[in-house]
Structure 1
Amino acid sequence: MDQNLTYLTVDTSTVEGANGVTYAYRRLGPRGGRPLVLLQHFRGNLDNWDPDLIDALAASRDVIAFDNVGVGATTGTTPSTFAQMADDAIVFVEALELDRIDLLGFSIGSFVAQEMTLTRPSLVARVVLASTAPQGAPGMHGWAPDIIGAVGEPTTGAEDMLHAFFTASAVSQTAGQQFLGRIFSRTEGRNEPTSWQTRNAQYDAVLKWGTPNFGLLQRLSAIEQPVFIANGDDDRMILPWYSHLTAGLIPDAQVKLYPDAAHGFLDQHAREFAADVHKFLDA
């Protein structure tokens, strides 16, 4: 492994799963330890991960980011449930011949991480849920009109990203502009953009996940792995109180909210969040 590689310079690789899907992924950091598999947000692809965050995570850890089925450069059709996305992610992990992993799921990726952990608990050692909520929680049946208007249109511009992922403060907006500069710094080998089919399937999955059903909340009590739940203290896409609700449903969970931060807290506080993730995973 070339120790000089960064997330901006590492090549995109592919692997074929048992389902016939060719998965696109990027792998960075020293091998030998338990890999950390990343699950991306709504409409996000490989290029939407913050290079600063990935480089900090990969400084001492094997980190794997990938496009799930139908997303970006991965073949197939994006499914409309997080349960199926979890099954597809497990196929990807199996294709890499990994038998024990940690998970970091961001936004809808955190919903997929929950499903993976419930479906294949023997595969998952520790779980990081960033900007998360449990299935069936009240108030999660879709996002606020200005939020889905910002991230749900055919084209998402810089101002839309700044509105949905960062707070209105000057500090947060500046951090957001710096983040946008970082994710567009890769000039060669950029990933395929996500399709309109992916957008619709993922938002259908959000609405199914958010249909109120209090009986589904108790599912999380079956998660026995240690779980670190994180969010910004002013996230309007997935409200911070869902972090506390989720933590209350998982027996071994801890919560941290990052100040003056919204949905993109892990980009605004990339170094601090990475340090917290390392501390949690190494515990």
Structure 2
Amino acid sequence: MSQYTAPNLHIDGPNGNSYAYRRFGRTGTTPVIFLQHFRGNLDGWDPDLVDPISAEREVVLYDPSGIGLSTGAIPDTFRDFARDALTFIDTLGFDQVDIFGFSIGGMIAQEVALQRPALVRRLILAGTGPEGGRNMHGWTDTPRAHAMKDEQGAEDILYLFFAPNPDSQAKGGEFVGRIFTRADDRDTLPSLAVRDAQAAAAIEWGIKDYARLARLENILQPTLVANGDNDIMVPTENSYLLAGHLPNARLTIYPNANHGFLFQYPTEFAAEVNAFLSE
């Protein structure tokens, strides 16, 4: 089974919400829970990244409450998003998981690890930053215009996720082709209410306050931090902050890459993730 073919599944949580998810890969392994980016859904995960990971371990992609095909109220803060993720994980009956968080998903992943440390075995934090980090309190004008556009197109993905050089833009075009290859059983696009709620949560998370960095000392799990060398969505300096304050972290920076480095280098990053999770 593949990200191209895995069916959309649904499970009802104790909160009355129905969670949409895809679950596939090698059973009998510690499952990897994928937490998605701003305005993302199940379809936005790159098959060239997810499928090689699923060859070695079970992967679970999911829509939080109120997003895509999931029902219920949209969480207000990343702490609430983390509680929502924990409800979903508990409903599936997992007692230990690895967490892969990209962009705001990485912010939620940090909260999951802080709220339920015994649940989380290892963390992957991609293109993300710590609460109270640097230059995260809202985007500058041009990125904001692309990120907040009512109807986004390929040009917005290419600008926000890929660097302004021919190679990165070409890789971006390939990525866009992959995520739109799946024709059947596609997810529902997140609403504008989702956009606004996630943006508000990100702005609150990004209020500069270095005292909040002390919370990272409580995330003891082995953590892989990775980013492109010029992330315009969550500035790359925040990946260095994460790696410097997390007690058990390593850092990889991918060259000539933006926020979507993991989709520009899907094969390489999947191999790095698999090696890290196998340690």
Alignment TM-score > 0.5, same fold: yes
Q: Structure 2: how far apart are the matches of 1:24 and 1:191?
A: 9
TM superposition score normalised by structure 2: 0.99
Indicate whether 1:85 and 2:78 are aligned: no
Deviation at 1:239, TM superposition (A): 1.2
Indicate whether 1:202 and 2:198 are aligned: yes
In structure 2, what is the equivalent of residue 276 of structure 1?
Answer: 272
2:136–2:206 Cα contact (<8 Å) kept: yes
Deviation at 1:138, TM superposition (A): 3.1
Q: Secondary structure at the match of 1:275?
A: helix
Indicate whether 1:69 and 2:65 are aligned: yes
Q: Structure 2: how far apart are the matches of 1:148 and 1:72?
A: 22
Indicate whether 1:165 and 2:168 are aligned: no
Indicate whether 1:106 and 2:106 are aligned: no
Q: Structure 1: how far apart are the matches of 2:278 and 2:174?
A: 29
TM superposition score normalised by structure 1: 0.97
Q: Structure 1: how far apart are the matches of 2:2 and 2:146?
A: 30
Indicate whether 1:188 and 2:184 are aligned: yes
1:144–1:237 Cα contact (<8 Å) kept: no
Q: Which runs of 4+ in 1 moved over 2 A?
A: none
In structure 2, what is the equivalent of residue 53 of structure 1?
Answer: 49
User: What fraction of aligned residue pairs are identical, expressed as a percent?
Assistant: 45
1:104-159 deviations in Å (ceiling 9; x for gaps):
00000000000000000010000000011110113210112111211211111111
Indicate whether 1:30 and 2:50 are aligned: no
Letter in 2 for 1:185: T
* The one of 241, 247, 259 aligned to 2:243: 247
Bigger shift: residues 99-108 or 239-248? 239-248
Q: Structure 2: how far apart are the matches of 1:182 and 1:42?
A: 19
Deviation at 1:212, TM superposition (A): 1.4
Deviation at 1:176, TM superposition (A): 0.3
In structure 2, what is the equivalent of residue 149 of structure 1?
Answer: 145
1:39-94 deviations in Å (ceiling 9; x for gaps):
00000000011011111110111000000111100001212200000000000000
Deviation at 1:25, TM superposition (A): 0.2
Q: Structure 2: how far apart are the matches of 1:280 and 1:99?
A: 20
1:102–1:124 Cα contact (<8 Å) kept: yes
1:169-207 deviations in Å (ceiling 9; x for gaps):
110000000000000000000001100110000000001
The aligned length equals 279
Letter in 1 for 2:273: V
In the alignment, structure 1 segments of 5+ residues that lack a partner are: none
Letter in 1 for 2:159: H
Indicate whether 1:266 and 2:262 are aligned: yes
1:191-250 deviations in Å (ceiling 9; x for gaps):
011001100000000010011122111000001100000001111111111101111111
2:136–2:235 Cα contact (<8 Å) kept: no
* The one of 96, 113, 117 aligned to 1:117: 113
Deviation at 1:20, TM superposition (A): 1.0
* The one of 35, 39, 47 aligned to 1:39: 35
2:75–2:84 Cα contact (<8 Å) kept: no
In the alignment, structure 2 segments of 5+ residues that lack a partner are: none
